[in-house]
Structure 1
Amino acid sequence: MSVLEHSGRTARSTVGRSRVGMGLWRGRFELMQYVRSGDTVFFTFLFPILMLGLFSVAFGADGDMQPAPGLPPVPVAQMYLPAMLAAGLLLSGFQNLAIDIAVDRSEGVLKRLGATPLSPVSYFLGKIVQVGVTGVVQAAVLLVFAAVVLGVPLPTDPAQWATFAWVFVLGITGSALLGVALSSVPRSARSAVAVVIPIGLVVQFISGVYFQFYLLPDWLQSAASALPVKWMAQGMRYVFLPEEYSALEQNGEWNIAGVAIALTVWLVVGLVLARVTFRWNRRDA
């Protein structure tokens, strides 16, 4: 190997380490900012927990649910837990980031960051670190609340928890990248909430977060198949519902391979869109 080639590889390696290091530092900063924002913590962190408790109280007065003859009855909270976990991934990644980045861009924060050595890659990494850490804590608190307070039986099979782990990682990473991409749409900080929240609500309703997915009409189930939240919720249902409940899915099976493919495709789409659309400043600024 020539000296020139060695120097080039060393420089690229140094740049790579620098980007990762700056991204991790940025992630620590983002976490501190997140914790200090009480309204953000409440609406994106505690919202799924409050909704799970509300559904359990509102629909659990008659005892366990049995959606169809032959299926084992389960607590109402167990039926809604997978959807609330999927909603938490969407809120933490997609909605939270889309609004925060749009506000930062409108207020000139991104413009100032663009004048520093921070690269878009490091900026993305910092955001994903923040979303990943808060998402893990949110999911852990939700699971503890479901098990201890609402009496939901949690899986004991390590294979199911392994499925939970990769659905979680693919889901929250893809949601974060799609949130970065959507942040380029709002034209001002004032319009960010008005643009992002309705999109998130519509996606959740279509994907069976607030209504059980098997109750949706066939055409709406097919439409939801084009959205990542449907696949996140389906993967979570596989983990937390009895095996017999696969009969309620669109094709009568859990289709875990399809979940993995769909979430991976959406992660790649989110990465491409985030990289193509991201600007430190709006193009029309």
Structure 2
Amino acid sequence: MSGTGVSGTAIDTAADADRSRTDRLPSAWSLGLARGALEVKQFFRLREQVVFTFAFPIVFLFLFASIFADTMENTGSTASQHYVASMIASGIMATSFQSLGISIAVERDEKALRRLRGTPMPPAAYFLGKIWLVLVTGVLETALLLLFGTTVYDLDLPSTADKWLTFGWIFVLGLTACALLGIAVSSVPRSAKSANSVVVLPFLVLQFISGVYILVDTLPHWMLGIGALFPLKWMVQGLRGVFLPETAAVLEPAGSWEFGHIALVLGAWCVGGLLLCLLTFRWKNRGEN
């Protein structure tokens, strides 16, 4: 009886020790934070990628704003200032949709995702790491464009808390929606070689039909209608409403900034993007065992 009691006590002690070790395992949130730090370090180690990511929208902003620098009648703003606001939205989508769509496809093709899936790391930690990367690069991209716009093109920063709050929720909703779409579209390319073509081409088209490169008052209505189906058009419109005077709203199709409509569309894309991720994301390429 005493031996059984000792054995039972030993088993209980071992079980308690196992439970204690389990309790001490890091959470998905802390692992995601660590994964995010790793993603950021890896990103900044690739100097060519860093330069391209941050310089590309600034170069395009300089080109378009220099070509179309005239003052726009009855708007209280210049075409250059319109381009600054538009390129900020484009930069947000570039650091989320384009970046994730390509990088995840490459990691899948190189079987990095497959190896990660075989580790004890919760899948949520991987995606949290990507979100941290997108957040850091998105904030830096936006800050650089704002600095360039205010310095070179006299863009006025918001002067009220309401405008800054509007900027904040457009940034968060837009970044989230585009990041989720980037994760979803990463499952489309069949290989790393085709990832750039599959992701960059639709993003480039969207920039033209969403009012980034071509001012909205010169775009055909059918193009604007197609662009209105996607989040970029609404991000561009919302950020113009933040940084441009109220009189500039006359150029918008509805004659106003439509902030309520923008919030609904971006919120819907966040939900829709999450559903697309859940339905389409794969850890392995198609055809792999």
The normalised TM-score by structure 1 is 0.89
Report the equivalent of 1:39. Answer: 48
Q: Which amino acid aligns with 2:120?
A: P
Deviation at 1:40, TM superposition (A): 2.2
C-alpha distance in 1, partners of 2:116/2:267?
A: 30
* Cross-structure match for 2:210: 207
Q: How does 1:216-231 map to 2 (within 5 A)?
A: 216-231=219-234
1:147 alignment partner, one of 142, 146, 150: 150
Equivalent position amino acid for 2:257 in 1: W
* Residues 1:236 and 2:239 are matched in the alignment: yes
Partner amino acid, structure 2, of 1:59: F
- The alpha-carbon deviation at position 117 of structure 1 amounts to 1.6
What percent identity do the matched residue pairs reach? 46
Q: Is the CA contact (8 Å cut-off) linking 1:132 and 1:173 kept in structure 2? A: no
Q: Distance in 2 between matches of 1:99 and 1:16?
A: 32
Which of structures 1 and 2 has the bigger CA Rg?
2
Residue in structure 1 matched with residue 198 of structure 2 by the alignment: 195
* Counterpart position of 1:173: 176
Equivalence for 1:54: 63
Which whole-Å CA distance do the structure 1 matches of 2:95 and 2:42 have between them? Answer: 14
Aligned to 2:250: 247
Measured in 2, the distance between the counterparts of 1:160 and 1:81 equals 16
Equivalent-residue separation in structure 2 for 1:170 and 1:40 (angstroms): 25
**Corresponding position of 1:161:** 164
Look up the SS of the partner of 1:210 in the other structure.
coil
User: 1:31 is aligned with what amino acid?
Assistant: V
1:225-249, Cα deviation, whole Å (9 max, x unpaired): 1111001101101101110121211
Q: Which consecutive residues of structure 1, in runs of 5 or more, have no partner in the other structure?
A: 1-9
Deviations 1:155-206 (A, max 9, x none): 2122111101110011111111110110001111111112111111011111
- CA distance in 2: counterparts of 1:43 and 1:270, whole angstroms: 26
Instruction: Supply the distance in 1 between the matched residues of 2:93 and 2:206 (Cα, whole angstroms).
Output: 9
Please tell me the residue identity of whatever aligns with 1:213: V
Give the TM-score taking structure 2 as reference length.
0.88
Residue 15 of structure 1 and its aligned partner are, at CA, apart by 10
Number of paired residues?
269
| Partner-residue secondary structure (3-state), 1:203 | helix
Q: Map of 1:240-279 to 2, 5 A cutoff? A: 240-279=243-282
- Superposed, 1:7-86 pairs within 5 Å as 18-60=27-69, 64-66=70-72, 68=73, 70-72=74-76, 74-86=77-89
Q: What's the counterpart of residue 112 of structure 2?
A: 109
Instruction: Tell me if structure 1 keeps the 8 A contact 2:92–2:141.
Output: no
Counterpart residue identity of residue 71, structure 2: M
Residue identity in the other structure for 1:191: S
**Partners of 2:71 and 2:25 in 1: how far apart?**
52
Of residues 51-60 and 102-111 in structure 1, the stretch that sits farther from structure 2 once superposed is: 51-60
Equivalent-residue separation in structure 2 for 1:175 and 1:196 (angstroms): 12
Cα 1:163–1:97 change in 2 (3 A) is: same
Structure 2 gap ranges (5+): 1-18
SS of structure 1 residue aligned to 2:71: coil
